[in-house]
């Protein structure tokens, strides 16, 4: 399943014009990178993938509709999957975009 172009456009609008922002196809979707670090992606499986501080992963999974991202059967700390129904509004999506871009911006640029 290809990523949702409309969702990618909504993410693009929320991220805004940043000189350190790039887009790259990855994980079967379209990722938005800040300083070369993935922040958020329109997932090819629907919804979004969000990069967060690994120390906050468990709390976010417990307190939000996010689930840990799994790759090859392994849960990835610091990487969350948020279902399409949980990013339907701009406010919902905006919260995740803000989390992802803030964390990616806190990392050393690649």
- Helices 90-106 & 5-15 angle (0-180, nearest 10): 60
Architecture of domain 5-106: Alpha-Beta Complex (3.90)
Query: pLDDT band for position 106 (50/70/90)?
Result: very high
pLDDT at 70: 87
**Confidence (pTM):** 0.93
pLDDT, the chain, mean: 94
Q: What is the dihedral of CA 36, 79, 24, 5, to 10 degrees?
A: -140
């Amino acid at each position: 399943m290809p990523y949702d172009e409309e969702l990618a456009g909504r993410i693009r609008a929320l991220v805004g014009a940043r000189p350190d922002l790039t887009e790259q196809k990855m994980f079967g979707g379209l990722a938005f990178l800040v300083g070369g670090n993935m922040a958020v992606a329109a997932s090819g499986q629907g919804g979004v993938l969000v990069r967060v501080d690994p120390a906050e992963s468990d709390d976010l999974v417990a307190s939000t509709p996010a689930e840990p991202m799994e790759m090859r059967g392994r849960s990835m700390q610091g990487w969350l999957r948020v279902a399409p129904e949980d990013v339907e509004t701009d406010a919902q999506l905006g919260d995740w975009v803000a989390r992802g871009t803030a964390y990616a911006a806190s990392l050393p640029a690649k």
